[in-house]
Amino acid sequence: MELSCSVGGSTAAPPGPGPPGPIPAPSATPPMEGEDYESLPSGASLGTHMLAGAVAGIMEHSVMYPVDSVKTRMQSLQPDPKAQYRSVYEALKKMVLTEGFWRPLRGINVTMLGAGPAHAMYFACYEKMKKSLSDTIQHGGNSHLANGIAGSVATLLHDAVMNPAEVVKQRMQMFNSPYKSVWQCVRTVQKTEGFGAFYRSYTTQLTMNIPFQAIHFITYEFMQERVNPHREYHPLSHVFSGAVAGAVAAAATTPLDVCKTLLNTQENKALSSLNITGHLSGMANAFRTVYQLGGVAGYFRGVQARVIYQIPSTAIAWSVYEFFKYFLTKHKLEKRTSL
């Protein structure tokens, strides 16, 4: 997602032969020197990146939230017999028919509350770091190393905000969740497990999301080089590149996501079967527990739902982000030239 724009205004073609026509009246709105509206803006402000990122994050998580609910349930290591599903479609259909139409959306409010600020910091940090690192490593060119490092650092900020929301969301999504509302879940977890419960999976989430985002950003930028080499604002290229990046990153990091889900939900039935008392913590313990309960296959529980969720999610996120970044910068430039 290298930001670029055309340099220099366009030169008018010389008039053809024939009698001169009337002198045209001057245009009310002068052309914008140095900016091509078909290209991504070169100097988008920090506020633009943050606003565009916040909108993209909320859209990404809200549109695909029902599939995310299915993913959480399909990653359950010892699911209730009433919550065993063979496919995403079957899971959604069963949830709606047996638990109500709105059941797949439980917890969406806390997700949207966390996604806005988390993605605002995420995209703003990524853009600024990518530019600085690319200037150093590639002298202004596109550097895959810079993209990967910038995505990884941005993840630290994103997950610090998003991790508590993830804990509450996944507990609300589980079958037979005892929580009636988001606030009841927050109060109960804080009272019974302490504030640290909201960050119990933070190191595991970082262990998952840092490689996820590194793969994601590197793949996205790589695909953009292939399908949009001039880095123009081209919606279909952003959708396609985002979808491919999401699928590759999601499949590669599914084992870590399964461990994160176990730490977030503290699945009682699964832990009791291994005589684990108290609360499970630590990535190493989570990896060992998943293997004891499901073997190697256990690490890939819900991979279908995860990939199906990530393909449109990242496509939506990148297309919305690029559109709003382009739109907001274009609006600012129009205001500047009208003064």
Measured at the CA of 138, the angle between CA 136 and CA 139, to 5 degrees, comes to 65
Q: What is the mean pLDDT of residues 43-72?
A: 87
Residue 41, pLDDT > 70, answer: no
Tally the C-alpha atoms within 13 A of residue 249's C-alpha that lie toward its C-beta: 27
Q: At which residue do the structure tokens 């290591």 appear?
A: 77
Amino acid at 104: P
Q: How far is CA 199 from the centre of its chain?
A: 19
Identify whether the C-beta of residue 67 lies closer than 8 Å to the C-beta of residue 305: yes
Q: What is the mean pLDDT of residues 191-213?
A: 88
Percent of the chain residues past pLDDT 70, beyond the cut? 86
Tally the C-alpha atoms within 13 A of residue 240's C-alpha that lie toward its C-beta: 11
Angstrom distance (rounded) from CA 213 to CA 249: 7
Confidence of residue 97 (pLDDT cuts 50, 70, 90): very high
On average, the pLDDT of the chain sits at 82
Residue 9, pLDDT > 70, answer: no
Look at 273 and 223; give whichever has higher pLDDT. 223
Angstrom distance (rounded) from CA 182 to CA 266: 17
Confidence of residue 69 (pLDDT cuts 50, 70, 90): very high
Q: How far is CA 113 from the centre of its chain?
A: 14
Tens-digit pLDDT profile for residues 268-316:
777 777 777 777 878 888 898 899 888 999 999 989 999 999 999 999 9
Identify whether the C-beta of residue 207 lies closer than 8 Å to the C-beta of residue 257: no
Q: Cα torsion at 89, 107, 59, 65 (round to 10°)?
A: -10
Q: How far is CA 23 from the centre of its chain?
A: 53
**Could you tell me the pTM of the whole model?**
0.69
Amino acid at 187: R
Q: Which H or E element spans position 273? A: helix 268-273
